[in-house]
Amino acid sequence: MIKAVELTDGIFRISANIGSRDLFEGIWPIPNGVSLNSYIVRGDKTALIDMVKDWEGAVDEITVQLKSLQIQLEDIDFLVLNHMEPDHTGWLAELRRRNPAIRILCSKKAVPLVKAFYGIEDNVQAVGTGDTLDLGGRKLVFVDTPNIHWPETMMTFEPEAGVLFSCDAFGAFGKVGEAVFDDQLSTSQHQFFERETLRYYANIVSAFSPFVERGIKKLENENIRIIAPSHGIIWRENPKKIIGDYLKLASYMNGPAEQEVTLVWSSMYGNTEALLDSVIKGVEAENIPVTVHRVPQEHASFVLASAWKSSGLIIGTPTYEYKMFPPMYAILDILDRSHVYNRKAMRFGSYGWSGGAQKQYDEFSKSLKWDCIGTVEYQGAPTEVARAAGFQMARELAVAVKNWK
């Protein structure tokens, strides 16, 4: 069982770890699980900030932790909902049934969602930037931070201890063990959460990167000493680190990202695959690292994380029934939805009787504002000329990545 953890006098994390059985948001694999964090803030009155859904015993987990703090559900005076996504609100109807007097505070845009998801209209109060909640000896301040990552999202700040309850922002995938705070993690645990922060950001936040930058700007005058997100670890030694990491990830939308190339490829009978080696060698000739993903064998979640941090992209895909090979179409669709904009890119691939993949690649690359170096496309198996062209084009791409500062 997880224990309640005190952040500072009267502020506690209560949390549940979810395993790897389900997909996050019904789409993203979580091979290392994910934590759902809620927070208790105690003044004369008690507030619960964000919640859980009844997912793999999460409700039982946090109920036991509340009891360890001598808090029954009926003792909670206020429920602050920073965000309406059901991983943080799924248990709302049952909580309200068990504690009908609880007052719900959320952003103006969240009010109709509380009704739509849970049929609750009573005792729901809209709050916005600058509004405060007096708990008696302690106050909470609200800040609208729309689209990090839904339109209704906000954050809650406790100014005395400088605790920012940021909900999804500054979060990560991955279960949290006994090391809860950034200063308790080993180097390898930090590396683990850096990887899970990247994949979490690329999968669920990246499309909203301009809002991340705006939200962080809004918070710059607050004296933030602790960042307490609703997924992942708590930052108390160096909260600036995770803010800086999020700003860096947000900047990748406009490029440059990191000086590396993500190569994602599909092949039906090996004729597109046959160019792979030449293309990889072309990138490596410029000493630029290249990460290779094959689809549909690899899940889009991992391809997207890799693509988000790469300044260069190489798409290897054949034509299939006059169009792009469907698994690669699905990948480009995800890259488009996630706004993997402004990359140096190239394509290679084979066709049989007719082309068609290139037309769809051109449409995506236009929508994604990619700077396309070119395409090496051939009928059937690649000739030596095609292999040489693949090497040369990949090398040009690597040079463009290297020179993009």
Residues that bind ligand FEO (CB under 6 A): 83, 85, 87-88, 149, 168, 230-231
CB of 204 to ligand FEO, least distance (A): 6
Nearer to ligand FEO, 18 or 398 (CB): 18
**Residue number with CB closer to ligand FEO (87 or 182):** 87
Helices H / strands E in the chain, number of each = 12, 21
Min dist CB 185 to ligand FEO, Å, is 21
Q: How many whole angstroms separate alpha carbon 277 and alpha carbon 263? A: 11
Distance, CA of 25 to CA of 86 (rounded, Å): 9
> What is the Cα Rg of the chain in Å?
24
Angle at alpha carbon of residue 183, lines to 179 and 189, rounded to 5°: 55
Nearer to ligand FEO, 87 or 273 (CB): 87
Cα angle 18, 87, 334; round to 5: 95
C-beta atoms surrounding 366 within 10 Å: 10
Q: By Cβ distance, which residue is nearest to ligand FEO?
A: 85
d(CA 157, CA 165): 6
Judged by beta carbon, residue 135 or residue 305, the one nearer ligand FEO is: 305
* DSSP secondary structure code for residue 268 in this structure: S
Closest approach of ligand FEO to the CB of residue 28, in Å: 11
Measured from the CB atom, the residue of 149 and 199 that comes closer to ligand FEO is 149
**Least distance (Å) between residue 167 CB and ligand FEO:** 7
Nearer to ligand FEO, 81 or 102 (CB): 81
Contact of 307 with 340, CB cutoff 8 Å = yes
What are the DSSP calls for 122-143, one per residue?
A: TTEEEE-TT-EEE-SS-EEEEE
Rounded least distance, CB 86 to ligand FEO, Å: 8
Beta carbon of residue 114, minimum distance to ligand FEO (angstroms, whole number):
15
The least CB distance from residue 13 to ligand FEO, in Å, is 15
Smaller CB distance to ligand FEO: residue 61 or 87? 87
Mapping DSSP to helix (H, G, I), strand (E, B) and coil, where does residue 324 land?
A: strand
Which of residues 2 and 30 has its CB atom nearest to ligand FEO in the complex?
A: 30
Rounded to a whole number of angstroms, the minimum distance from the CB of residue 245 to ligand FEO is: 18
CB 16 within 8 A of CB 35: yes
- CA–CA–CA angle 335, 336, 337 (5° rounding): 95
Q: 138 vs 149, which CB is nearer to ligand FEO? A: 149
Alpha helix (H) residue ranges in 176-294: 187-200, 209-218, 239-251, 276-284
The CB-of-153 to ligand FEO minimum distance in angstroms stands at 8
Secondary element (H or E) of residue 7: strand 5-8
